[in-house]
Amino acid sequence: MKPKSPSSQDPKSLYNQVPRFAILVAGGSGTRMGADRPKQFLLLRGEPVLLHTLRRFAEPALGVADIVVVLPADQLDIWQALCAQFSIAVPHRLVAGGATRWASVKAGLAALQGHPEGLVAVHDGVRPLVSRLVVERTYAAAATHAAAAAAVMPKDSVRLVSQHDSAAQNRSRLRLMQTPQTFEIDLLRRAYAMPELATFTDDATVVDDLCRVQLVEGDYRNLKITTPDDLVVAEALLAADI
């Protein structure tokens, strides 16, 4: 019996064959945390926030072949010291980022230049509670649509504010963007070959002019640790999972 041609194979088996990569971007300073160290290095249940995030992408079931961690140049030594202190053995590569998130993602992409094809997930280093299901959804959707991002519907009522007034918005048509945001690697390279714009708020906005970004269901627990309250909530959520 002849083997199936690629076009006749089950879509799930196809995207499982595509190489997977991840770029974890952590450039925070910890200013809004009022902390003595960048928020990615704060302890969450006794371990650095960034370590929790790294472990999520290193889960064997996800099959991520290459993980790149991007940090400001002056934080590389701190992370390496933490790796020694906490005996961090999760395979990853460390790259110095740039002055903006855009520049840091571009540096992460450059570190993956040896991979001509595949899917790359870009994730905030301070989103340590992302579930394997959400990560898998973005990889699967990117395999089909070339670009995918996790997002959730706002829980609260939303109003659009103008200079003199405000107007209610239909929240069922709005989404709060999360990460990971996952793309065919060549698509993301082409997007990042263009000049940086002030309107770029995440990777989806960088890619928008080249490709429609497919939104997939995120998770309200996939919070971005930005303030002291976020750290308290993350502690509680991790405790509840144990």
pLDDT of residue 101: 96
pLDDT of residue 9: 44
Tokens of 151: 């997002």
pLDDT of residue 169: 96
The answer, yes or no, to whether residue 2 has pLDDT greater than 80, is no
Confidence grade of residue 193 (pLDDT, cut at 50, 70, 90)? very high
Confidence grade of residue 37 (pLDDT, cut at 50, 70, 90)? confident
Confidence grade of residue 13 (pLDDT, cut at 50, 70, 90)? very low
pLDDT of residue 36: 77
Tokens of 14: 């196809």
Cβ atoms of 206 and 191 within 8 Å: the answer is: yes
The more confident residue out of 107 and 10 is 107
Residue 191 φ/ψ, nearest 5 degrees: -65, -45
Cβ atoms of 102 and 199 within 8 Å: the answer is: no
CA distances from 238 to 30, 133, 179, 221 (A): 21, 16, 19, 10
Mean pLDDT (whole number) for 188-198: 97
Three-state DSSP state, 48: strand
Tokens of 221: 């627990």
H/E element, 141: helix 132-145
- Read off the pLDDT of residues 137-161 as tens digits, 9 standing for 90 and up: 999 999 999 999 999 999 999 999 9
CA atoms of 48 and 67, how far apart (whole Å) = 17
The answer, yes or no, to whether residue 186 has pLDDT greater than 80, is yes
The more confident residue out of 183 and 10 is 183
pLDDT of residue 6: 38
Q: Which amino acid is at 82?
A: L
- Read off the pLDDT of residues 225-238 as tens digits, 9 standing for 90 and up: 999 999 999 999 99
- Read off the pLDDT of residues 44-73 as tens digits, 9 standing for 90 and up: 999 999 999 999 999 999 999 999 999 999
The more confident residue out of 94 and 12 is 94
pLDDT of residue 242: 61
pTM value is: 0.91
**Residue 1 burial class via C-beta count within 10 angstroms: exposed 0-12, middle 13-18, buried 19 and up:** exposed
Confidence grade of residue 17 (pLDDT, cut at 50, 70, 90)? confident
Cβ neighbours for 104, distance < 8 A, ≥ 6 positions apart: 25, 27, 70, 97, 98
